Chains A and B, each alone.
Chain A
Amino acid sequence: MNIKNFIPIILFIVLTNNYIFALPKNPLQKAIAAMELGLFNEALKQIEIAKITNPKNAEVYRLKALLHEANGDYNKAITEWKNCKQNTNNSDLMNEADIHLKNLEEY
């Protein structure tokens, strides 16, 4: 049996595995992948799914607020920054939310 005959099959398996494992697995990873491509609405859809298992994660609300800001939905961004503040004790994050809220409330 010649090993050379199996090289294309082995290569196919390795490449397919690499491709499958490189794909984002959870909604948050999918959201970030979409955001990096500039697909902000798709990223927001994925964050909504991620929020089901992470309802108290302030960083998820923060990312959602930034996406709404980038989309120009300032009222929605205000809501998400307020949610972010409610779900954190981190003073830096609260300060960041205040800076954004102050800016957004002027629109």
Chain B
Amino acid sequence: MSSKFLLPIIFIFLSCWNSPAINTSYNFKEISQIKLNKIIDFKGHSGSGQIIEDNIALMFMKKGYDVSSPIEGKTYININNENQKSVTLHCTITEYTDREIIVIPFRIEDRGSIETTITQSAGSDKNNDNTIATTSTTTMNDGGSIHESGKVEYTQARVGIIIKIIDDISGLLVWSHSYWYNGIELTKTAQICAKNSVQLINKLLD
């Protein structure tokens, strides 16, 4: 294939890399209810599924939707009772850590210093009426080290999720998106991750 065709394909692929996948023939305006499936904990992080689930429900509430949980483990987001369609939201946690190691390379420059000390003293001789003044100057030059470099490490939080919306009647996957966020605090990072995902779903429903 010539580069004439290859370049536009690469460009389209890269530009769509982080965008949600959407079934364009599906009418999202007809959705009456979103069922939020129980989210399974990320391996080694007990309770992480519940945290993401609660954050998603909270964000839907903040957007003004009615959220109900009549059965334990099932959350319903009511959109419009006059509509017919109902969908299920499946969420999978792909990353949930507060131990992601980040390395910062750095350099230190010690440019040295110059220290000058001036000492003045005055005194008179027994045989002489004149006062004798003595001044001495000491200068210390510290060349410093030209430069020193190294690296420091720190840990950060990172949360990643994949969301799928499936039509309850046809079983058709109508929308899917993966999202991640990082930060210093794990709880805040999980909240932002859920918030931004809900924001994208909200745009579909508006």
Interface residues of A (CB under 8 A from B): 26, 28-29, 32, 35-36, 40, 50, 53-54, 57, 59-60, 62-63, 66-67, 69-70, 95-96, 99-100, 103, 106
Contacts and interface: CB of A to CB of B under 8 A. Distances in A.
B104 A103 contact: no
B153 to A, nearest CB: 8
Contact of B181 (A53, A95, A103, A106): A103
B1 interface: no
Given A35-B184, A103-B181, A103-B196, A60 B106 contact: yes
Contacts of B154: 32, 35-36, 63
B107 to A, nearest CB: 6
B104 A69 contact: no
A50 B150 CA distance: 13
B106 A69 contact: no
B107 A70 contact: no
B152 A99 contact: no
A57 B180 CA distance: 24
Contacts, number: 56
Interface of B: 18, 102-109, 150, 152-154, 156, 180-185, 188, 192, 196, 199
Contacts of B180: 99
A59 B183 contact: no
Given A29-B152, A35-B154, A63-B154, A69 B183 contact: yes
B184 A26 contact: no
Q: Closest 7 interchain pairs by CB?
A: A59-B104, A70-B184, A32-B154, A53-B109, A28-B106, A28-B152, A26-B108
19 contacts: A26-B106, A35-B154, A50-B106, A54-B106, A54-B107, A57-B104, A59-B103, A59-B105, A60-B106, A63-B102, A63-B104, A66-B156, A70-B183, A70-B184, A70-B185, A70-B188, A99-B180, A99-B181, A106-B199
A103 B192 contact: yes
A78 to B, nearest CB: 15
A1 to B, nearest CB: 39
Contact of B183 (A28, A36, A50, A66): A66
Nearest to B180: A99
Given A60-B104, A62-B102, 17 more contacts: A28-B104, A28-B106, A29-B152, A36-B154, A40-B184, A50-B106, A53-B106, A53-B109, A54-B107, A57-B106, A66-B156, A95-B18, A96-B182, A99-B18, A99-B181, A100-B181, A106-B199
